Structure 1
């Protein structure tokens, strides 16, 4: 080192001045990071507005989040310790949530009382139930609003600590991206491009704000800033271009050892049906010889331009006897009784699949309730997975004469409501197809026969390619034009056309009868797979109940009744599903797949799945390669930076050698403070096990000479560093770096190489 004391005085004076200026830079940097965290939080909440209607909860959540972030900023610039800042923010969060939702039970409106703490579990349970039983977009009830506001404000506190205190924006981005993707996964809708671009832009802005708060040499900082932006831009472009090419999963819940399949409440069944994977979800054992349709939910209400939404009727808890409400039948209508045992293995929903009309149920575990209006069964906080239960059905058996004379009228007007601006093709086709029919039943049979005739074809792909995937009135109009679609189109078209004729109808979501598995002298067992998810219409007849019809071409069991001797299918009085009559030998039940030719029986052909299965492997393999490549980017960038610094150190650049060692320290979690002198940091390195002291002090001496020795000539920074350095410095830096990396466990060392923290962390 130089022996000139004035040189040392100048160095320490410069350093003291730098320290004196640091609080103002820290305040400015803290403000930027606080603003960046809030903007990123807002961007992450945008996708949530597609599943939960905006309202009071949004203003309250953003207001409380802004409040805690502002308080955190003010406390930090006044030198309050980080742990105290987070603690005060939590207190503010608790007072704010209490004042917003429990003011009547709190002390002084904002201080939680024992009554408040006692009410929170009940409110959370109610919120969970509202979310489980609701459909998108949810109206935010008071319970849901409490959950959202509390969660968003807590997330703001976590972001404040991660981004502002820990200076780890990448971890914050991972958390925010998870929040943004939850709505997309839960309702199986793709994220609009503008939302994705906004989210990516705010993340890049957050990285930019973080890099501008760093206090290290300009060149490494610029390199890291550029690397961060390149990485972020590459991820954004990759998502926009490649993500649409990847396959879409069914809604699933991963459980150790198996996969549980879910059901979309908004009858967006196209995604489920187009998935090439077929998973067995349950078995049905019946004493009638033929499998029944299994119902999950009914849809009677039209929203907006004619999109069907699940019914949400009042429910009654299932009692110990498991009986269902009795249904009124005409005095001359006969009934038949059947028992069906259902074992669920991989279906995870809140709706219980049951045959109808159910008279009683036994064997359920957990809390369940019956919807009085349609006799569907819903969970009150549990799931269908693993349930084993037995359902007793009592099905009405009207004759042809009885159903032809039964009035098709209902006291509830929701079953005849039509959307405004109904496309004329729906009403004109209904009038034309039923022109020769006299009774409501004859009109429905005419519609069923027309849909199952030669004019229509079953297709899972044509609707998507031609832009009318879905169940809205416009989608139905397009379906009637091209006459090709799947069960949702057939059921929606049948229901709207029947309503245009004044006949009360609704749509049912459930499963087709399964395929034959085994039998005993008294029972037959069928298995039901995930791609047998189905939609069908029902019509209401007074004195008989709800009668299932099957318009979907080539699938299911069509409805018909015999004169004076009952039916060829049973009838559901409370949501009835005509079922195939019992036979002495089991028959194969249909699956919701298109056949090569129209069929009128109960069996459909199956196609080989080897082709789709192989085709499905390719995009997933490409996706896996892409994910691995993206995950490898930080490691590649870190390795490239290390090679560049090592090469510079070999040329005698002591500053590069010092940065090379500092990067290794950051990667393994050794604190690196910009305020520490080289000797202070050198002492910290020596404290690590396995770090050679001699090499550390040689490196410290080289750095001090490069920083404090007078320059030999004004020939540029690179030449100055080379002149003041020693190529042996690279050997000392390599020894120190090797010791630092060797001081941690192998797993931690691997993480340091794959995800080098030095790319984004400075302190």
Structure 2
């Protein structure tokens, strides 16, 4: 069939007329504003899972990223430069947030030039911050109160989401993909906390998504937006959220945490308590000057190889305690701690008190103080308000080294039998061998226990609520201890139980305590005393070892919790050889805060101030590694698109009309030109020539080839090289090298694949 006859056939077919209307005004600003609103709508539900102290900083970061893009587009900057500039502004915004939090003393640093330009030391500080934020999310229940690390991560994530949604919706003109990305963030909080009371959030997100799609359609389509389909979609979304969603099964995912609901299992089977579904404030207390104490709940001395059992035995009624004044150890400094406790949401028969208890007043009826361990049991803790006093020994390091970890006999035979005995089991021997290996070079009991504590906290072990549980090792039996020592990952129960058993294999009396971490200072004062809040998530377990002449000494083997026990040398203790020397903040009672990084001065994080070259080198290496990883990720779309393009060009060079036409349409999509499936090749070529300035002779070989392939007899006559025509069209379509590079780096055709219909088939 001759070409002129083909022309008449194609011309007779209905085709979309080329609009001669003047170009409409640019709606890019409106689309970018809709993208910003969509980002905010996606982030907003997180406030139901994480207390929104971070939200204002996150909004500021999102606004800064958006403003950078809007300003550069208003100045008609190169399309490829806008996302790069937004990325730079995002880095500066995150760095500025870190600097602000560091200036408030909440993070180490600041490590930035002019407060907004990151340094290598900041890059070194970021992985621990990210790890701390991850731990806070995994180990705490919703709604959780974010610390500085989690706040910084949330601000960074919000700004990055704003950048990503803006690039997808505005630069790549893929608004539907932007909505999907935002939706992936929006659905997380309802799925995690099972919250179905978020109608306002549903409406805001649906409205933002529809607005974005509508503005983008008006930006690219010749006809005005029709509101009827959009209204139908919105109505279906709202109906689905209100009617269908409540009928779905309740979500099973939860934000897990290391605390109980409101009741403690005193048998040390704390796995379920530590992996609870919620977190509540269990009590508040006031304390004067000095450190806030651990609050003991139960003491477990008897171990039968399977589990630890809480102590019982002789007791004294609380209203008669103490029967006689309790004398502190002779020749030893002591510290008295007095707390006034108000129980808020705790149930059970144990009363949280500091240790060793020396005074108790204000409690109701039915409470008893157990003999040696001085725990309080027997009543109903709900609603109690009382005052408890403890006198804590403060031995020097020399006194601790001179003392032996033994029970004074024969005055405490019962105590010795319960705190030193291990069941006869073949599993004891490897545990004893490991304990002797860890402590073998030390010459006294104190240094052996410090070595054991340091071994657990030294970096080979990790805190986890999941690792030992995956294979069923959730408990304190010999089997669980052996598995824990193998995987070196577990929670406080595993560390406390293993430490206590290893101490017994070394001939030292030990036991395990259940109680609460000191809690969080609320910043309030009551009668010149600080007010602390203790949450259910701060339930904890730790070991104690008895030293003759000192008493029970707590240790903290769990990494990331509390402060490791270490006594001061005699020269640094009051009454020592150098009373004016500075006294470091070292305590025998653990605190609530983590020790990794947080217990060191900010200037020591990421290296010292001297020898900074090593730190800088490490920072630059980390920066180079991050940059290389980002470059590889950014190169993936380009590599995939180049592979597809090369394969099509090879086939087009041999005269394959379909391959050539598919590549032409992909090129048009990459350039931001629509390729509707109902539009004929000739109509598409006419529109591209008229609206985008591509000369008709450049497109003619491609149009003739696909028409000949589609309508010619027997698949059409042999054709020559079509690859050259494609290259010429590409140069005419995007004459600037920078624009061509941007299209190659971010090929829209990979995500918005053209739907091939009409004469070129389904392709």
- Common topology (TM > 0.5): no
With the shorter chain as reference, the TM-score category is 0.3 to 0.5
Give the TM-score, by structure 1 length. 0.41
